[in-house]
């Protein structure tokens, strides 16, 4: 663990608590077979998913997409009325974590933004490599738009969102919907928390924060290798959004942690979005680590970031 003085004190304390909890289990490594690693990692992650705001209603359903019955969880912060919806793709390097590990974060965003949320349980890698998860995410958004009235959702106000690898899926889903000509007309925003944009391990933040700050450069290399099938996928803009033409994407909010290997690619991508004419807000949170917005119970900086996301959601969804 780095002794960098830039650490936020509450972030440091939370990281120390997580490390102490993890020390009671075998080390979690990104190596196959992944199920034993998933069991430990998900159990540890669930500590931050408990508590948080209560929802007026919670329901669960499935949408068929790309040959799979995809589980989705719908939270509504108020029971009546037609609500805009935030479709959430959880992080975890495409290889672990679940809609359950991210449930508190999603409920926090629903409350802060006044929106319904739909969490998507896409298939994990490497059992199903790119583009399976992406195809499922695209299919869920299409299906949700087509059936929105069943759940009291407004198909003209859909925001896509995700954290880390889920941010990658959110951008890729928006790009796929734009390119196939069968897009969702109501796509009104993209919310990305410390998104994975490119396998560029020589960026300034990768060099500066490679070890000692939670997410390591080595772990990100392993995630990319497990997600992509081959080197050809590294040239595909639906896998690597940094390679995409960005014009025509909806208004975007990118939230980054200062002490994170992914910070540089997020900053570069925000600049490219703006250059392409996309309205893009960018906020870097000082002293924070990758994944910090899951820690709203312990870290005031996480609560501030959720409030910022909520204000942005109110603006783009008209609530």
Catalogue the active-site residues. Answer: 164, 260, 290
Distance CA 288, CA 306 (A): 13
Q: How is residue 20 written in tokens?
A: 């102490």
Return the H-helix or E-strand segment holding 68: strand 68-76
8 A C-beta contact, residue 300 and residue 12: no
8 A C-beta contact, residue 143 and residue 300: no
Q: What are phi and psi of 174, to 5 degrees?
A: -65, -40
Interstrand relation of 68-76 and 57-65 (parallel, antiparallel or unpaired): antiparallel
8 A C-beta contact, residue 85 and residue 153: yes
Of 150, 167, 65, nearest in space to 116 by CA: 150
């Amino acid at each position: 663990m780095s002794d960098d003085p830039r650490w936020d004190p509450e972030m440091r304390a939370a990281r120390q608590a997580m490390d102490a909890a993890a020390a009671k289990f075998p080390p979690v490594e990104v190596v196959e077979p992944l199920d034993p690693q998933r069991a430990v990692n998900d159990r540890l992650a669930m500590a931050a998913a408990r508590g948080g705001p209560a929802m007026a209603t919670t329901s669960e359903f499935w949408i068929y997409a790309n040959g799979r019955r995809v589980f989705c969880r719908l939270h509504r912060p108020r029971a009546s009325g037609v609500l805009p919806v935030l479709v959430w793709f959880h992080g975890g390097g495409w290889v672990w974590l679940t809609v359950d590990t991210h449930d508190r974060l999603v409920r926090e965003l629903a409350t802060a933004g006044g929106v319904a949320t739909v969490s998507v349980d896409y298939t994990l890698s490497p059992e199903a490599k790119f583009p399976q998860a992406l195809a499922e995410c695209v299919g869920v958004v299409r299906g949700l738009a087509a059936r929105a009235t069943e759940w009291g959702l407004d198909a003209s106000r859909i925001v896509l969102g995700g954290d880390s690898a889920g941010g990658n899926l959110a951008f890729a889903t928006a790009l796929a919907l734009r390119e196939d000509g069968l897009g969702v007309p109501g796509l009104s925003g993209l919310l990305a928390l410390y998104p994975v944009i490119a396998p560029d391990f020589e960026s300034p933040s990768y060099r500066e924060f490679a070890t000692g700050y939670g997410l390591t450069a080595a772990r990100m290399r392993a995630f990319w290798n497990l997600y992509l099938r081959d080197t050809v996928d590294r040239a595909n803009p639906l896998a690597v959004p940094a390679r995409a033409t960005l014009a025509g994407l909806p208004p975007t909010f990118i939230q980054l942690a200062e002490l994170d290997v992914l910070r540089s690619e997020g900053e570069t991508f925000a600049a490219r979005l703006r250059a392409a004419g996309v309205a893009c807000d960018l906020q870097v949170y000082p002293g924070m680590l990758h994944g910090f917005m899951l820690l709203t119970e312990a870290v005031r900086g996480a609560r501030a970031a959720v409030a910022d996301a909520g204000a942005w959601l109110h603006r783009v969804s008209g609530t």
